[in-house]
Amino acid sequence: MTRVAFIGLGHMGGHMCRNVITAGFDVCAFDLDAGALRRARETGARPAGSAAQCAAGADMLVTSLPGPPQVEQVLTGSGGAIAALAPGALVIEMSTSSLEVGRRAQAAARARGVEMIDAPVAGQTIRAESGTLAIYAGGDSAAFTRALPMLEAIGDPQQIFHLGPHGSGYAVKLLLNLTWFVHAVATAEAMAVGVKAGVDIDKLHTALVNSPANSNFLEHDVRSVLDRGDYDEGFAMKLVTKDLGLAVDLARVVGVPVELAALVEQIHVRARSRYGDQAGEMSAIRLYEELAEIELRWHTSS
Ligand code: NAD
């Protein structure tokens, strides 16, 4: 049986780890949070006392961590997991992180005879729970093929994409999030202005959805706000601003000016400072509601 070390058991990783166990892997788990580790034990994982202890003897290491500093610390910091892996092991790094930290970790892995792919995910906690995440992978074809049974335990097989060499997964995931948060701000502005101009919100939404200006965000994702004022706390503003900052950093590294992305990032930084680190990912919409002194909710209950 393939022995798996799973590190990072938060909103996403907790569900992902349980799905890996359900798929029949032998899982040892670690998280700094004792509560998260206890919940993983209850689903069948063997708890470890440190990242290195978790990784020792594993065939595959899976990580789902907040961002670049934690990825660097867990993989290559003092007492890090890569140094504890045996040569021939495979690292599947599934956090939304930076290409730069990924490159450094991959170099450390290569020096130890360990393979590594980046495989960040999309789909919110609901799809982490159902094991149907979208996965954006970067790395060698052979390493990707080896990782596939694990990825299929976590994601929807139709939405597991091998995008190119190491770092491609991180890049695509950052750009996907950037585009989604641009849509969130555009939707908030259009709906706040429309409602203030006296247009019925139900009719405004229907007209926009049936126009060339439609987006997935407008048609589907904004509905949790319109239905019940739910800004989705499953993905915290602390992580949202981390992702948007990484996307703007990436643009800077490759030398492409991204005025819109930088502005949208700052709007989300404002929303985080207004509503807190743990506020839901659609909190930017609340800023517009507050500015316009309205609540964006259906006029009729639908
Ligand atoms: P989270 O903050 O809920 O979970 C992260 C976990 O990592 C926590 O349990 C924390 O205790 C643990 N951790 C932090 N540092 C650690 C260390 N040094 N050693 C061991 N454990 C450590 O975050 P999340 O929402 O589960 O997101 C995880 C990753 O997935 C992030 O990179 C995020 O951007 C990405 N992501 C999240 C969502 C979402 O909807 N929540 C969706 C797609 C992608």
Q: Report pLDDT for 178.
A: 98
Give the distance from CA 28 to its chain's centroid: 22
Q: Which atom of ligand 1 sits closest to the CA of residue 133?
A: 43
- Residues in CB range of 118: below 8 A, 6 or more apart: 93, 97, 102, 137, 138, 139, 166, 167, 168, 169, 170
Residue to mutate, 17, 18, 31, ligand 1, most ligand atoms under 8 Å from C-beta: 31
Decide whether any atom of ligand 1 lies within 6 Å of the 12 Cβ. yes
Closest C-alpha to ligand 1, atom 8? 10
pLDDT in tens, 22-43: 999 999 999 999 999 999 999 9
Residues forming a β-bridge with 116 = 91
Decide whether any atom of ligand 1 lies within 6 Å of the 98 Cβ. no
Closest C-alpha to ligand 1, atom 29? 95
CA–CA gap between residue 298 and residue 227 (Å, rounded)? 6
Pair of tokens at residue 259: 């005025």
Q: Which residue has the higher pLDDT, 1 or 231?
A: 231
- Spell out where the chain has E strands: 3-7, 26-30, 46-47, 60-63, 90-93, 115-118, 121-122, 133-137, 155-162
pLDDT tier for residue 302 given thresholds of 50, 70 and 90: very low
Residue whose C-alpha is closest to residue 138's, from 111, 107, 106, 113:
106
Residue 242 known to be catalytic? no
Residue to mutate, 7, 30, 65, ligand 1, most ligand atoms under 8 Å from C-beta: 65
**Average pLDDT score over residue span 195-220:** 98
**Which amino acid belongs to residue 53?**
Q
Q: Report pLDDT for 66.
A: 97
pLDDT tier for residue 83 given thresholds of 50, 70 and 90: very high
Decide whether any atom of ligand 1 lies within 6 Å of the 135 Cβ. no
Decide whether any atom of ligand 1 lies within 6 Å of the 129 Cβ. no
Say if residue 94's pLDDT is above 80: yes
* Statement: the pTM of the whole predicted model exceeds 0.85: yes
Q: What is the mean pLDDT of the chain?
A: 97
Active-site annotation holder among 173, 203, 238, 242: 173
CA 183–ligand 1 middle distance (angstroms): 24
pLDDT tier for residue 300 given thresholds of 50, 70 and 90: confident
Q: Phi first, then psi: give them for residue 167, nearest 5 degrees.
A: 100, -25
One-letter-per-residue 3-state SS of 80-148: CHHHHCCCCCEEEECCCCCHHHHHHHHHHHHHCCCEEEECCEECHHHHHHHCCEEEEEECCHHHHHHHH
CA–CA gap between residue 251 and residue 266 (Å, rounded)? 15
pLDDT in tens, 227-280: 999 999 999 999 999 999 999 999 999 999 999 999 999 999 999 999 999 999
Q: SS3 for 5? A: strand
Decide whether any atom of ligand 1 lies within 6 Å of the 201 Cβ. no
Decide whether any atom of ligand 1 lies within 6 Å of the 74 Cβ. yes
Say if residue 293's pLDDT is above 70: yes
Under 8 Å between Cβ of 96 and 173: yes
pLDDT tier for residue 106 given thresholds of 50, 70 and 90: very high
CA 9–ligand 1 middle distance (angstroms): 7
**Average pLDDT score over residue span 58-73:** 98
Q: Report pLDDT for 290.
A: 98
Decide whether any atom of ligand 1 lies within 6 Å of the 176 Cβ. no
Under 8 Å between Cβ of 283 and 270: no
